[in-house]
Structure 1
Amino acid sequence: MKILIVEDGKELRETLVNSLEKDHYLVETAEDFKSAFEKIGLYDYDCILLDIMLPGGSGLELLQDLKKNGKSENVIIISAKNSLDDKLVGLELGADDYLTKPFHIAELNARIKAVLRRKQQDGKDTLDVGNLLLDLNERMLYIAGETVRLNRKEFDILNYFLLNKNRLITKSALAEYVWGDHIDQADNFDFIYYQIKNLRKKLLDAQASIQIESVYGVGYKLLEP
């Protein structure tokens, strides 16, 4: 899961990054209006934590742009401004939630999980396809009721495949989702090949009913039974 933090306060930004990375989220940051505008224009995020007061512009302007592009429903506004007007404007622009500073990190984490559940699968905490069940909260995979151990990247790759079953997934889309925006700097996608090779072996050994098919020169497709 990829989260963008738009926050100009360095201390809070670093605290949020450390906390979210411990929960196995892939985290990107923007500290001003310009960098945030560029990131939301180039990349898709599962959740955006958005401050209203930013150097160079307003977070509400960013939210308006997100709404125009159909991306505002996964935004949580985090702001020291406890103004009812700002809150109403943000929610009218499609923000999913509003949290006033200061707040407890545990409360923010709970709000993020709620947004991700609503965004991805109508509130469910698991993904199940064939004889697989992926527990998103515990980050565990079960095949035919048996636990299958996955590393962090293998879990994120399988999660992305299950959310996009029977669809062609390009290597670049998969790399961006699992490894983040800096993937643009990679010379090739060999690292994806090795992660998927290991994931396939684990699925095969556990007699999974799904199959990850290679589409030559393009990417992959997860086929369900």
Structure 2
Amino acid sequence: MIRSMLLMAVMVLAVSQAFAHALWIETSPSGKKGQAQEVRIFFGEYADKDISPLDKWFSDTKAYTLTLITPGKKTVKLSSVPGSDHYKAFFTPTEDGVYTVVLQHTVKDVYHGSRLDYHSSAVVQVGTSSGGDAATTNPNRISVYTKAKDSYRANESIALQVLLNQAAAGSKEVEVFAPNGWGKTLWTDSTGSASFTPIWPGRYMVEVADTDNKTTGDHHGKPFQKVWRCATYCIEVSE
């Protein structure tokens, strides 16, 4: 009986950790033609400054796919190499406009009857052209979008939009985490839009999740009764 209870506790802990952690992308919001742009991928709990070491990434999380979408809507698969506490990839802009980097990964293991789908994205402004800057450029099932900008400023409102299946996601809970760990909960309106005003300079992370109770099936030989999807998006804020 005691062994069964301990085993159940361990399983619950594993599930909670899987749902609490997320993948996210960090990169400079601006780039230059002909100059390599570094993209970093982290896994952990951003608000707690808990970055998982590469050998602690659970299941096959490190098998994510990373894709670059150019201003001309060309797609380029990016390859990652291990860094200190993250994976990194590079691309070199060849034209002005907005480049979108998208990450997607469906975890191999099913947790507590749920298939886990991780998504993340980032936009990079090159030059002054706005070509490629649109929420629907990101093909992920769930995504967060803000207008491409070199940097946002503290004490100025930032508008964002959440898409689910390429459509505006209304009444969706959105979490915003400041660089010092402060957090705020937002709710999107009928157009999938929400806004917040950053107080401190630094990198903010926006996270949104969705549970799809209608999609069921078999995943790597294990049945699942629902799909949990999470999307992250980082925003640079200057003073």
Question: TM-score if structure 2 supplies the norm length?
Answer: 0.27
> Per chain length, whose mean CA-contact separation is higher, i.e. which structure has more relative contact order (CA < 8 Å, sep 6+)?
2
Question: TM-score if structure 1 supplies the norm length?
Answer: 0.28
